[in-house]
Amino acid sequence: MLEIGSSDGFVLGDASVTLLAPQPDMIFEGRIALSEGSVLAREADSEGPRRSPSANGTPRMGRYREGSRVPAMTWRAPSAQEARALWSARPFRSDRTVGIVRLFNGDMWTDNPAIPALNTGKLNSDGALEPWVLRRVASVCDMSGPLSAVRVVANPPHSVSTTFVGDECLGLHVDDGAGVPIRELPFAYNRISVNVGPGDRFFVFVNLTVADMARLVDIPVVSASFSPGEADAIGQKFLSARPRYPVVRLRVRPGEAYVAPTENLLHDGQTSSSPCKHLTFTGNFHLRGWE
Ligand SMILES: [Fe+2]
């Protein structure tokens, strides 16, 4: 049963998206924050979104998609009740679990010569990285289904949103790369995104599935065929209808990765005071150690 709290806080029912960290030695003190809802991107970031610099180092600016929203930039720690709702002990489910794992310790910088080269801008191809990173991914995840690597993406520091289609920045959005009808989103692929850069970055998300959001804003989920942008439209309607609903911000340190059902929830990336790079794979990733 879905419920909205009296202050438009979390949905605390069984249907919400939850966090899992199967490695018991990871410490999350101060790494999870909640925003006071979402705001129009143009109001939060009046200068406009920054893209990664061109090859000659020239900064490049983009523009926000009409009506796009980003988390309100005032962050707070979750309450004890919110933390319990977020850190459910529910088993991993690829359609509604955001997982975080450490793949590399300090050895990320020495084991593979491609990493320092990548971070000093001397390496344009990530081809040398993929098999090396995938071996580590396989040590924490069962992988199945078609696997594909999204190239290394670089983002400048202090980015409020990191998702671009051409020059247009999306803000919070739902992916539709899998081409799956709304009703079949629980079976869409998920992704793992590895922080291969020198600084912390953030994965931001709303802890509701597309079906949860549709129910909460009274949109019938009947589509049996894929329609591009349909899931995202449900997410945008939810954000407009519930502008105070908290957005979760998860800090992802260098060498760590998050696993997330990005076809089935509102999400985006943000950067810290450091430039960031991440290497992403889509497929079917199931975190071990939490069955
Ligand atoms: Fe995305």
Residue 203's Cα: distance from chain center in Å? Answer: 4
Q: Among 104-108, 131-135, 166-170, 227-231, which stretch is predicted with the lowest mean pLDDT?
A: 104-108
The pTM assigned to this predicted structure is 0.92
Q: How far is the CA of 110 from the centre of ligand 1 (A)?
A: 30
Distance 221 CA to ligand 1 centre (A): 21
Residues near ligand 1 ion, CB 5 Å cutoff: 175, 262
pLDDT digits (tens, 9 = 90+) for 159-211: 999 999 988 999 999 999 999 999 999 999 999 999 988 889 999 999 999 99
Q: What are phi and psi of 53, to 5 degrees?
A: -60, 150
pLDDT band at 119 (very low <50, low <70, confident <90, very high): low
Query: Which long-range contacts link 75-80 to residues 24+ away (Cβ below 8 Å)?
Result: 75/33, 75/34, 75/35, 75/249, 76/33, 76/34, 76/36, 77/30, 77/32, 77/33, 77/34, 78/32, 78/33, 78/34
CA 208 to chain centroid, in Å, comes to 13
CA of 227 to the centre of ligand 1 (A): 17
Phi-psi label, residue 200: left if phi above 0, alpha if psi -120 to 50, beta otherwise: beta
Residue 114's contacts (CB-CB under 8 Å, 6 or more residues apart) are 123, 126, 128, 129, 132
Overall number of domains in the chain: 1
Distance 265 CA to ligand 1 centre (A): 9
185 CA from centroid of ligand 1 (Å): 15
Q: How many CB atoms lie within 10 A of CB 220?
A: 8
Please count the other Cβ atoms lying within 10 Å of the Cβ belonging to residue 273: 8
89: domain range?
Answer: 2-287
